[in-house]
């Protein structure tokens, strides 16, 4: 498969194109800022809701708010204590849902133990669901209707586009079937205009079948959450390999792909970190601008 990225790009030691999510995130944020500036800086507002004192969640939300500012957006934040009740959390989200000055709502998950996220997410209108997590957003994706796509699978698509990975008529394997990544990723790769032939594999796929399916693929998206499960044996020479999985090991945080082995065979590969993670926030902000347009608050 011929991979033709636009502009200058970095390669791994083995010669694969390095699909740098940090770099692309910067490009997307700069583009959003230019678009908002050119429109005269109408307020585009992202609201974040954080419940509890989970340190990684606090850092993640703070980074989202910081990058929203860099993109020229307004950031509204609601923070509740660890002992907040279900009713209190739902009241905050309902208030934001009814506020016409708020265009996108992100409720940081997971919620503290004892809180049910489903009723909370159900309060977010589809046009404000910039995380693309609700059942109505997923339904719109299945039906091909306007709506917001989950930020992680959308980030994968942006990487494929930016780095010139062809999709039409190509074979893709998605490993993982979560509603957060695997299932929407399968739909995005197979829809009109992208036109991959998509196979869905998962933790119950026999090892021998997994190797065979992956070896037939031009594109592999690994999002099963199993450390280094994709080895050189799985990868067809020249394939594009996207690593979405995150596992915490004694050696630190690693992905689903054995990067050192696979980069010597692949035509393009995402690093871990600096790959798909940064793209999640970039696409959250992209969705926020789209949300403002859907609500008539920003020029189409």
Question: What are the catalytic residues?
Answer: 64, 108, 131
Helix (H) or strand (E) holding 172: strand 171-175
Phi and psi of 80, rounded to 5°?
A: -120, 155
CA distance 153 to 168: 18
Q: Which two tokens stand for residue 1?
A: 């498969």
**Is the preceding peptide bond at 273 cis, omega within 30 degrees of 0?**
yes
Instruction: Determine how β-strand 17-18 pairs with β-strand 268-269.
Output: parallel
Instruction: Determine how β-strand 247-249 pairs with β-strand 252-254.
Output: antiparallel
Q: Determine contact, residues 76/44, Cβ cutoff 8 Å.
A: no
């Amino acid at each position: 498969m011929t991979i033709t990225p636009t502009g200058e790009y970095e390669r791994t030691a083995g010669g694969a194109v390095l699909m740098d999510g940090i770099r692309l995130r910067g490009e997307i944020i700069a583009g959003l800022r230019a678009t908002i500036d050119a429109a005269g800086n109408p307020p585009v507002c992202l609201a974040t809701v954080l419940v509890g004192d989970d340190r990684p969640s606090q850092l993640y939300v703070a980074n989202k708010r910081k990058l929203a500012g860099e993109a020229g957006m307004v950031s509204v934040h609601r923070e509740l204590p660890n002992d907040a009740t279900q009713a209190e959390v739902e009241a905050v989200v309902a208030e934001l849902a009814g506020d016409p000055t708020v265009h996108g709502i992100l409720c940081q998950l997971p919620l503290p133990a004892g809180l049910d996220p489903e009723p909370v997410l159900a309060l977010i209108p589809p046009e404000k669901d910039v995380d693309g997590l609700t059942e109505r957003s997923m339904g719109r994706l299945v039906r091909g209707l306007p709506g917001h796509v989950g930020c992680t699978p959308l980030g994968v698509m942006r990487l494929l586009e930016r780095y010139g990975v062809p999709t039409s008529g190509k074979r893709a394997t998605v490993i993982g079937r979560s509603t957060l990544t695997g299932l929407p990723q399968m739909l995005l790769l197979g829809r009109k205009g992208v036109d991959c032939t998509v196979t869905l594999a998962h933790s119950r796929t026999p090892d021998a079948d997994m190797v065979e399916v992956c070896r037939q693929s031009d594109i592999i998206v690994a999002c099963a959450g199993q450390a280094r499960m994709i080895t050189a044996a799985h990868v067809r020479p020249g394939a594009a390999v996207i690593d979405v999985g995150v596992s915490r090991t004694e050696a630190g945080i690693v992905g689903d792909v054995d990067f050192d082995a696979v980069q010597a065979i692949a035509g393009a590969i995402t690093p871990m970190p600096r790959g798909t993670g940064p793209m999640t926030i970039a696409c959250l902000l992209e969705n926020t601008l789209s949300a403002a347009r859907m609500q008539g608050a920003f020029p189409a």
